[in-house]
Amino acid sequence: MPVPILFLADLPAPAMATWTSALAAALPDDAILAWTGANDTQPPSALLADISVAVVANPPPGLLARLPALRLVQSSWAGVDGLLADPTLPPVTLARLIDPQLAADMAEAVLGHVLMLHRQVPAYRAQQAAACWQPLAQPRLAERRVTILGMGEMGQASAALLARTGFPVTGWSRSGRRVACSGVPVLAGADGLAIALAQADILVNLLPLTVQTHGLLDRAALARLPRGAGLINAGRGAHVVTTDLVAALDSGQVGHAVLDVFPQEPLPQHDPLWHHPGVTITPHVAAPTDPHSAARAIAANIARWHAGQPLAGVVDRAAGY
């Protein structure tokens, strides 16, 4: 008899249909029950009472607490800060998405943005607007130091690709856990962060959002960067204190910032970041989750769950990731 698995997601209808189809294809022996949280589409109460596994994407707060048999919550996103913000989240096993495709896509985006800053595209774009023909001195790849904050799956993939390209790369891990990333030194702790910032010609933030990392990139942190450094934020918007970043951009302490994530998304049209000459904005697209590859990774984790094997991406709620 098929095992019922709840897909609980607050997504537009086309995305909901794509995800449901991808999960059904990846879990052919299970029955996928899709629910947006709306009462008019609620599965029968008898089925909800039997749900032990829920796959979630932006689930409305409070709904998971209504599943008495729930034992596993599998996020379809790599980040779980939104889930952990729900005070009614049941004390069951929680796993975040571990998808190699997601890490590869993030590494590609990071490399693209780093190369854009390295080759001084923002400066040339400003010169074009002013009809100014002025070649700039161009450092070599080996002279442009890159620091990555956050050495999880995405950070390691990004560090490895940048290092293969020829950039000198340093990583920083807040947890201090041992990271095996060939040729990339990884620092940790407050002292390690100070060193990592001081040698970052380009700083890439890929940290998870936790109580400890909220507002980490503030005035003091930005002041530790070499003057004119570039910043790429593809972690979470709340990592950066926006007013401090704007002040650093205006003073020249930060040369240019590429921002893919924001405290409020979509970024409001009236937000001054849209028109700041020192900012490049992308709409949270550095590593969009692919439903088909994600569904396969989720299916593999659920298979481990049924087999009593260790899961990938189990969240430490105290740490926040």
Question: Of the listed 236, 239, 256, 296, which one is catalytic?
Answer: 236
Task: Tell me the C-alpha distance between 106 and 111, whole Å.
Answer: 9
State yes or no: is 284 an active-site residue: yes
- % the chain with pLDDT above 70: 99
Asked if the domains 3-99+289-307 and 103-281 are classified in one and the same CATH topology, the answer is yes
Question: Of the listed 214, 284, 292, 304, which one is catalytic?
Answer: 284
CATH code linked to domain 3-99+289-307:
3.40.50.720
pLDDT in tens, the chain (321 residues): 678 999 999 999 999 999 999 999 999 999 999 999 887 778 878 788 999 999 999 999 999 999 999 999 999 999 999 999 999 999 999 999 999 999 999 999 999 999 999 999 999 999 999 999 999 999 999 999 999 999 999 999 999 999 999 999 999 998 877 776 778 999 999 999 999 999 999 999 999 999 999 999 999 999 999 999 999 999 999 999 999 999 999 999 999 999 999 999 999 999 999 999 999 999 999 999 999 999 999 999 999 999 999 999 999 999 999
pLDDT in tens, 85-111: 999 999 999 999 999 999 999 999 999
Radius of gyration of the chain (CA): 21
Query: Where exactly are the structural domains of the chain?
Result: 3-99+289-307, 103-281
Q: Crossing angle of helices 100-118/291-307, nearest 10°?
A: 140
pLDDT in tens, 56-79: 999 999 999 999 999 999 999 999
Question: Exposed e or buried b for every residue in 288-316, given b needs 16+ CB within 10 A?
Answer: ebbbebbbbbbbebbeebeeeeebbbebe
Looking at domain 103-281, its CATH architecture is 3-Layer(aba) Sandwich (3.40)
